[in-house]
Structure 1
């Protein structure tokens, strides 16, 4: 998803609090919770050393495992592929420190809980070169065979200004943008829930496209078409047009589409460090203990092939190597569809309404193609135009979004030739890396006829299509209209006192159960929900000075729509 249209206004005063991913569905201050000197909870001494299975070694699983270790549990991690999940940073052989970000690659500063863990793990971030951002020297927008070069929005033709204006007016008139963002900024829970819950009631059955089409500023089909191809914030959003408008409004309300940062050295470092670095303040465990050190050979268990409920109130897990182990609790962070096909899942794991919610989960597909080049040649100046010979590019051609990633003076350059979603991703599904690269080079040749990208390529192209990945089957969840009720069931699953006793002990977390899927903050916060759930399940509690998400749940619970 790429964009040349500016983000929604944030109406900031010089001393205003920043907008963060605070809510809007469940406005709990996770960032304050994890920073508290009182910690995020403890369990009775008798529970220390208890094994808890953590299925999935992505960001959510690694964070849950680390925090469970900190409480004194023994997390046992199962991973079907590699630590990192969709934080997958693929290196190029012989070129240390240069990685292709196949999954997560840009993170909004409004993800304040995520950034807490980035800081804790000693990771640095840098501006990500989104279109027309300060980190991007120039952008080319190429639609219907016509290209426009721009350093700022002011350089683009009037139709793009009309689109930008229509989007901002639509948000203000139909989505209460100003009071919504002000409530997020001020962390005014009462006002936030009042505004957001009304939007949920009004728009649960509305598509993104339907929302635009009912807007007076977007009555022109041409404006809707350009907006879909060029988008706002992070994306050309026409691939999202069939999805629920609530998915989009969450992004806008919490500034998830703004001022993105990349992780220096690759995003996969975060889950890898959560896995391998000692937890200095852990209960029960000796100094120097890490999640990794609790695993034989320093490796996670293999892929889970079966999960069964066994007596008394236990979970028996079989892995791909044939090992069978039994646990009193499980945190499940992998893609939920895995429970429908790759894993033999006991139907007694979840109530029937939760199974229905998993079956209705809708994933967005995504593909990327990266090439390593001998140098950042795109910075060369064309003597005829006085401009860079190539720019960050948005187009309706097959490549859709092309990013130019400077790796520093005297180093090779990295190009994300193509970043596509949904139907655009499916068009590439049957093709190997070589054929994909040829298509993208041909696409870009129409825009830059005098630039020979191929002559600069120095390594085998890297590519991924997430819907073809056996352990993922999609890039991230994106609700369709009418799916709010399903999402509410999955998100609130960690509150297990509300479930019949036979369904307790397995805790869902990760991107699929997050309200803001596709953003790492959701993986982090749902992991913290699950950790609270495990703690509570074993008789633990939080400090009175730092209540957890379950302690205040009834006061801030997501809206429950009537059937």
Structure 2
């Protein structure tokens, strides 16, 4: 099994969601008397649409509420006048290990290509600019020894501190018991330790200078610098590494928003109760309902009363909340009795990271031009300690407009951008890049209007994604396992949570898909249904394969 691919299998919950989806018997069934019953879905991002799509196939009637726009943080913004040239404002690179997500990508026939990450073949060339000294490279071996030493040190730290090779081999083999045998002690040891602590205390980095840790934080390797994640729990970062989420990434041609929008209008081949050709779009008469403002319950275990922003109230047998967790205590008036106080604590203490991106459309991929004096590409994918931090180049073909993500920044760097209008963000980015590429007039190639986002300023998100701090494992354990409701008091049953912020892999769409499928199982059993005997669902094996419980 050494040649088997790395997939997002565990390590906390060792369940093969892709196999559950692919099984010819389907996910399960619900009693005929429940067919057509309505289920409220709050949010039309990837988690919400996935949940709705699979519940529709089971014979339920999902009713999606959306306060912003469909797609959530899978937001592909077209440039004015060029509808097929887009800026990926949220998720933009999708690792092939995300096999649950790619089940839907493949179903919809959406084309993908390698993402132009630093030092990748798709990038062509990379410039790393630190302390005013740019270094040009077309492969890792082109970099000075310092950078290769940093990459090697992190590999060694992972091996020494987390049995990385053994753990990844068990994930490749989908050996659930072996994964848990290795992973559970790591959870106990590292729950309360930060990413920076892991790096700084590793033998590999102790042998090196502070400068090596600084370089790792500023530009890192692969997709860029890691310093914005330094305060986070090491468990959060280790999952990214061991599940291959930072490797072999692709982007969706035409924009990733096509995935949730595609599921919205896709008629499943096999479906219970609904006539052939039924889609989510048809069930909703063309559009989701507006955002939710209130959730109440009739009695202890009666129907849920969901009120939208225009004051209309509908009643449902179950609700799936896929929105950002803070919205359940800020934007939506939720009856406090619907969740335990421990759960409210987890939802409110969840910490979200800031993120800013600014894109421009250019007349052509001019960065592919070669400098006649050096023979190098005139501009490259760029990692820097300047305000831009990460600059990415998207080539749509020699005779078509290209796209530049001028700046992709996180946390304090993103907050520097937050109060600025888009024009000033562009000016600052161009000023920084001019110091790295003094012979290139980037502005002369810009066409159309720039596009920008600061996720922390969006009232529907309040941040880019979860970034768990040390000690937050127990909070994540509560949220992730909430779909297992058999032991809950009746007053707390029927409201389910989903979304990448509930998952163990925040910021990655696979977490949204997997928690959506957990919620599907939860709703199915809530209505008296069950998985097929030949295709056990996540709740059927959660007691054996679920995350370790660290206790109170």
Pairwise CA distance, 1:488: 0.2
User: Which residue is equivalent to 1:481?
Assistant: 470
- DSSP-derived class of the 1:496 partner: coil
- 1:538 aligned to 2:527? yes
The equivalent position to 1:182 in structure 2, one of 159, 169, 176, is 169
What's 1:310 paired with?
298
Count matched residues.
549
Q: 1:119 aligns with which of 87, 101, 106?
A: 106
Q: 1:335 corresponds to which residue?
A: 324
Deviations 1:151-184 (A, max 9, x none): 0111111100110111011011111101110111
1:372-420 deviation per Cα after TM superposition (whole angstroms, max 9, x unaligned): 0111111111111111110000000000000110011310111000111
Partner of residue 130, structure 1: 117
SS of residue matched to 2:180: helix
Residues 27-106 of structure 1 aligned to structure 2 (within 5 Å):
27-106=14-93
User: Hey, what's the Cα distance between the residues in 2 that align with 1:342 and 1:299?
Assistant: 21
Q: How far is the alpha carbon of 1:233 from its aligned partner?
A: 3.2
Using the alignment, how far apart are the partners of 1:231 and 1:366 within structure 2? 18
Structure 1 residue corresponding to 2:10, chosen from 3, 23, 26: 23
1:279, distance to aligned residue in structure 2 (A): 2.2
1:259-274 map, 5 Å: 259-274=248-263
Once structures 1 and 2 are overlaid, which stretch shifts more, 227-236 or 78-87? 227-236
Residue 491 of structure 1 pairs with residue 480 of structure 2: yes
Which residue number corresponds to residue 6 of structure 1? Answer: none
Partner Cα distance (2:168, 2:369) in 1: 42
Where 1:425 maps in the other structure, the secondary structure is helix
SS for the counterpart of 2:359 is strand
SS of residue paired to 2:187: helix
2:274 aligned partner: 285
CA deviations on 1:233-258 (whole Å, 9 max, x unpaired) are 33311000000000010011111110
Counting only pairs closer than 5 Å after superposition, residues 454-469 of structure 1 correspond to structure 2 as 454-469=443-458
5+ residue gaps, structure 2, are: none
* 2:531 is the counterpart of 1:527: no
1:322 to 308, 311, 317: 311
- The secondary structure found in structure 2 opposite 1:325 is strand
TM-score (norm 2): 0.98
1: CA distance, partners of 2:506 / 2:487: 25
Give 1:511 shift: 1.1
Structure 2 Cα separation of the partners of residues 208 and 199 of structure 1: 13
- Are residue 210 (structure 1) and residue 197 (structure 2) matched? yes
Secondary structure class of the residue paired with 2:406? strand
Residue 411, structure 1, aligned to residue 369, structure 2: no
SS in 2 for 1:317: strand
2:221, 2:468 → 1: CA distance? 19
What SS does the corresponding residue of 2:273 show, helix, strand or coil?
coil
SS at match of 1:336: coil
Provide the C-alpha distance between the structure 2 equivalents of 1:115 and 1:42, rounded to a whole number of angstroms: 24
Q: Is the 8 A contact 2:52 2:62 kept in 1?
A: yes
Equivalents in 2 of 1:288, 1:409: separation in Å?
40
Task: Provide the C-alpha distance between the structure 1 equivalents of 2:342 and 2:256, rounded to a whole number of angstroms.
Answer: 35
The counterpart of 2:547, out of the listed 539, 545, 558, is 558
Q: How does 1:222-371 map to 2 (within 5 A)?
A: 222-296=211-285, 298-311=286-299, 312-371=301-360
TM-fit CA distance, 1:191? 1.1
Counterpart position of 2:489: 500
Equivalent-residue separation in structure 1 for 2:479 and 2:29 (angstroms) = 25
1:489 to partner: Cα distance: 0.2
Aligned-pair CA distance for 1:370: 0.2
Assess if the C-alpha contact under 8 Å between 2:40 and 2:65 holds in 1.
yes
User: Out of 359, 373, 388, which is 2:377 matched to?
Assistant: 388
1:378 counterpart = 2:367: yes
Distance, in Å, in 2 between the alignment partners of 1:152 and 1:409 is 23
What is the match of residue 511 of structure 1?
500
**Preserved CA contact (<8 Å) 1:309 1:348:** no
Residues 11 and 183, structure 2, Cα contact 8 Å, conserved in 1: yes
Unaligned stretches of 5+ residues in structure 1: 1-11
Larger mean CA deviation between 312-321 and 494-503 belongs to: 312-321
Q: In the TM superposition, what whole-angstrom CA distance separates every residue of 1:78-114 from its partner, at most 9, and x where no partner exists?
A: 0001110000000012113111000011100000111
SS of 2:397's partner is coil
Q: Tell me the distance in 2 between the aligned counterparts of 1:526 and 1:235.
A: 27
- SS of 1:497 mapped into structure 2: coil
Match of 2:311, SS state, is: coil
- Give the distance between the partners of 1:19 and 1:279, measured in 2 at CA: 29
Post-superposition offset of 1:42: 0.7
Query: Contact 1:43–1:541 (CA<8 Å) still a contact in 2?
Result: yes
